[in-house]
């Protein structure tokens, strides 16, 4: 726009000041509050038994959920990007549905499947299987919330690359998994890594859905974000911000990985 250098400077100043206040300040306050009492106090707060248990639980959850959603994402992308079949668009919408559903709604929905009064409640009780207010419930709710991450990265990437290479490999006698490993995977690997990193970050940070299904039992079913809430409401500000700093560092690492991967994949793919 020919607003001249003055207009440009004004817009830029507004943008930078707002970003400082709206985005940078909240992130900084977490790190400052978390680390202001010194590194010793920081690790001391993290070393508390319940917080350690929460960190462990969050890691276990991620270790289960991320592979499940990676496998699902690859399968979904392979079927949707490489083939045409009736209902393909509908399936795509269903896969993206978790992004539009409030995590609270997701958590409540899971209660009605696996909870005591839920669809499978009587069956689960009879066989003494505990899903709600236990690790399996946390895993299921986290799986729902992060379902679209890998698929959404891979589908446009695979569609863009077309089927020619895979078809050539098939004609030359390559078998299914061989084709995927040797031909498709090298083409999509950075998009795949990116989707996995996003999925992981979201699993570690999920709050609403997990807060419904976890039962928030101290030291047992509290994930790290739930532990942050608990510490905060216990007026243990130092502990809450120390725990929050850990998740903030994960977020910053995720962003760094995003920037690095964007250089490899190209903006359009890893941008959204």
Partner 1 sequence: MKDGGRVLPGLRLSLGLTLFYAGLIICLPLAMLIIVGARLGPAEYWAVVSSPRAVASYRVTLLSAFAATAFNAVYGFLLAWALVRYEFPGRRLLDAIVDLPFALPTAVAGIALSGLFAKNGWFGAPLGAIGIKVAYTPLGIAIAMAFTSLPFVVRTLQPVLEELDGAIEEAAATLGARPLQIFRRVVLPVVVPALLAGVSLAFARSLGEFGAVIFIAGNQPFVSEITALVAYIRVEEYDYPAAAAIATVMLATAFVLLVAINALQAYARRHEALR
Residues 15-44, interacting with partner 1 (CB under 8 A): 15-16, 18-19, 21-27, 29-30, 33
The span of 46-54, 123-131, 187-195, 220-228 binding partner 1 (CB under 8 A) equals 220-228
| The two three-digit tokens of residue 168, written as one number | 């050539």
* Closest CB to partner 1 among residues 125, 167: 167
Q: What sign does the CA torsion over 37, 44, 219, 69 have?
A: positive
Of positions 162, 182, 186, 264, contacts partner 1 by CB under 8 A:
162
7 binds partner 1 (CB under 8 A): yes
Q: Which residue do the tokens 């960190």 mark?
A: 55
Among positions 188-207, residues that touch partner 1 (CB under 8 A) are: 201, 204-207
The span of 38-46, 47-55, 122-130, 161-169 binding partner 1 (CB under 8 A) equals 161-169
238-244: list long-range contacts, CB under 8 Å, 24+ apart. 238/33, 238/37, 238/41, 238/45, 239/45, 239/48, 239/51, 241/30, 241/33, 241/34, 242/34, 242/41, 242/42, 242/45, 242/46, 242/51, 243/45, 243/46, 243/51, 243/54, 244/30, 244/34
Among positions 172-191, residues that touch partner 1 (CB under 8 A) are: 175-176, 179-180
Of positions 46, 212, 242, 265, contacts partner 1 by CB under 8 A:
212
Of positions 167, 182, 185, 189, contacts partner 1 by CB under 8 A:
167
The span of 6-14, 41-49, 123-131, 186-194 binding partner 1 (CB under 8 A) equals 6-14
CB of 245 to partner 1, least distance (A): 9
Are 141 and 106 in contact by the 8 Å Cβ rule? The answer is yes
76 binds partner 1 (CB under 8 A): yes
DSSP state string for 153-177: HHHHHHHHH-SHHHHHHHHTT--HH
The span of 36-44, 48-56, 94-102, 187-195 binding partner 1 (CB under 8 A) equals 94-102
Q: What is the DSSP letter of 95?
A: H
- Rounded to 5 degrees, what are φ and ψ at 245? -60, -40
* Closest CB to partner 1 among residues 28, 56: 28
């Amino acid at each position: 726009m020919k607003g001249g250098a003055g207009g440009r400077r004004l817009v830029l100043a507004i943008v930078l000041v707002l970003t400082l206040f709206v985005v940078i300040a909240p992130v900084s306050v977490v790190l400052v509050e978390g680390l202001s009492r010194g590194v010793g106090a920081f690790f001391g707060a993290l070393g508390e038994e319940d917080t350690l248990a929460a960190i462990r639980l969050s890691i276990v959850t991620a270790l289960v959920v991320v592979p499940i959603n990676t496998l699902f994402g690859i399968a979904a992308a392979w079927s949707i990007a490489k083939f045409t079949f009736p209902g393909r668009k509908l399936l795509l919408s269903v896969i993206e549905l978790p992004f539009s559903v409030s995590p609270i709604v997701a958590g409540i929905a899971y209660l009605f499947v696996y909870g005591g009064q839920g669809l499978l409640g009587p069956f689960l009780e009879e066989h003494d299987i505990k899903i709600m207010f236990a690790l399996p419930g946390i895993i299921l709710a986290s799986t729902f919330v992060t379902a679209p991450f890998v698929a959404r990265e891979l589908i446009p990437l695979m569609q863009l690359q077309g089927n020619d290479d895979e078809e050539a490999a098939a004609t030359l006698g390559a078998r299914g998994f061989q084709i995927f490993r040797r031909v498709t995977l090298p083409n999509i690997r950075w998009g795949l890594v990116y989707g996995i990193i996003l999925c992981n970050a979201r699993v570690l940070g999920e709050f609403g859905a997990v807060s419904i299904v976890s039962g928030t039992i101290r030291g047992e079913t509290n994930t790290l974000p739930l532990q942050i809430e608990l510490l905060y409401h216990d007026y243990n500000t130092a502990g809450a911000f120390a725990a929050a700093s850990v998740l903030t560092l994960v977020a910053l690492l995720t962003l760094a990985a995003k920037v690095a991967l964007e250089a490899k994949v190209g903006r359009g793919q890893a941008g959204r």
